[in-house]
Chains A and B, each alone.
Chain A
Amino acid sequence: MKIVKVYGPGCARCETTEAMVKDAAARLGVEVEVEKVTDAKSIAMAGIMSTPGISVDGELVHAGGLPDVAKLEGWLGA
């Protein structure tokens, strides 16, 4: 079980990112728990300056813009 956090204050792109993470996980058959972090303070504390950001099992892998599908599968599959 991987714990994925999606950081973003709730803009359209953050919603899309969350859906992309879930889709990718379903495609790969990886079990994930997706948690959304919307509070600006927590986002900032995680070291993210541009949203949406993604962390997998506590490690920050992406910040700013929609993630690339192939890369996203890489992060979830590894």
Chain B
Amino acid sequence: MTTLGLENNLRSSQQWKWHAGVVAFAIVWFAVYGQLIPISEWITSLLPIDRNSHTGEAIAFFLYDVPKVMMLLTLIVFAMGVVRSWFSPEKTRALLSGKREGVGNVMSASLGILTPFCSCSAVPLFIGFVSAGVPLGVTFSFLIAAPMVNEVALVLLFGLVGWKVALTYLAFGLGIAIVAGFIIGKLRLEGWLQDWVRDIHSGANSGIAVEGERLSMVDRYRLGIEAVREIFGKVWMWIILGIGMGALIHGYVPEDLMVRIMGADAWWSVPVAVLMGIPMYTNAAGVIPIVEALLGKGAALGTVLAFMMSVIALSLPEMIILKQVLTLRLIAVFVGVVASGILAVGFLFNLIF
């Protein structure tokens, strides 16, 4: 056998080990996940606290939710990390460049979910898109969808609040990104970009794309693991803090108070929720456990969703970053359009549910 053959053999046996490892992990995952309630109840029963007291309620909630959320995150972030290895900003840009508005907005918002995105590269990405002839409105659809409809938000909503709310969030998040981008496109605001951006834009310098690095399946698994490591490094504190807050609300906040402040009858609660959300900058991980607890205490779904969308999609730090490429007027339009969309979703939900 030649050395090359040996090497190939070695590689394929290594690949099989990886595949087997992923399958084994999935089996263990599902086995443990199914037993989380008994495990958490058992641990709570070991503590010298009355299970039915406020403290007991809060602790049981915390002990069940933390491992549940961590496990869901591991699974989904890994899967998304692997899936995303087939997408890249360069490919997405090629798909979107020269697309008409309308179709372009729909594609762009959907690709916003699948394309790896980090808000720290929002500016280079924005310029890369616009300079390659992706229409401004289509670019905005991407920039709204990418942070708002992210897998962490969906996992947490699914795990803590239920699949119906998660799906509705997905649908309306996409909807807002599509419609807001479409409106911004129709307003023809290209002139409101910062001057230097407009220059690259009209010069149509499409930039050099990095040659797609060829990835093996093992490389993709590795990317999935890296994604999990990164998410955990970044958000575990938020999750524990958020679930801790949620546990306190769960155990201590009286129900009628919540209904009065955040119930469906208080119409003003939706705009207040949106306004409160803008300066707050936590990621989805910190907000959702609180959302769950608020819902459990009778807060209206629309109000709570509006709050959550506002916290995630409209953040002050991101606007400061975007100020490098957009004029203040354009940022104001962006915030106005997105905030109106969120308001509409909030009111609509309070009417329906």
Contact = CB atoms under 8 A, between A and B. Distances in A.
Interface in A1-50: 8-13, 40-41, 43-50
B297 interface: no
Nearest to B215: A68
Nearest to A10: B120
Contact of A40 (B116, B124, B210, B230): B124
Interface in B7-40: none
Interface string B143-186: 00000000000000000000000000000000000000000000
Contacts, number: 80
Interface string B117-157: 11011011111110100000000000000000000000000
B214 to A, nearest CB: 10
Given A49-B93, A50-B125, A64 B208 contact: no
Contact of A9 (B88, B121, B223): B121
A44 B127 CA distance: 6
B120 A61 contact: no
B226 A49 contact: no
B124 A62 contact: no
Given A40-B324, A47-B128, A50-B89, A65 B226 contact: yes
A60 B118 contact: no
A11 B118 contact: yes
A41 B196 contact: yes
A64 B128 CA distance: 14
Contacts of A43: 121, 123-124
Nearest to B122: A40
A66 interface: yes
B202 to A, nearest CB: 15
A8 B117 CA distance: 14
A13 to B, nearest CB: 8
Given A40-B123, A50-B88, A60-B208, A45 B116 contact: no
A29 B34 CA distance: 52
B47 interface: no
B121 to A, nearest CB: 4
A66 to B, nearest CB: 7
Given A40-B124, A41-B196, A68-B219, A47 B209 contact: yes
B207 interface: yes
Nearest to B223: A65
A74 to B, nearest CB: 11
Given A44-B123, A64-B88, A71 B118 contact: no
Interface in A59-78: 60-66, 68, 71
B41 interface: no
Interface in B190-214: 196, 200, 207-210, 213
B120 A51 contact: yes
B90 interface: yes
A14 B120 CA distance: 10
B324 A41 contact: yes
B210 A44 contact: no
A28 to B, nearest CB: 20
B210 A60 contact: yes
B43 to A, nearest CB: 34
Q: Which 9 A-B pairs have the closest CB atoms?
A: A47-B207, A44-B127, A49-B128, A40-B123, A49-B89, A47-B208, A11-B120, A44-B124, A51-B121
Interface of A: 8-13, 40-41, 43-51, 53, 60-66, 68, 71
5 contacts: A10-B120, A44-B200, A47-B208, A48-B128, A49-B128
Interface of B: 88-90, 93, 116-118, 120-121, 123-129, 131, 196, 200, 207-210, 213, 219, 223, 226, 230, 233, 321, 324-325
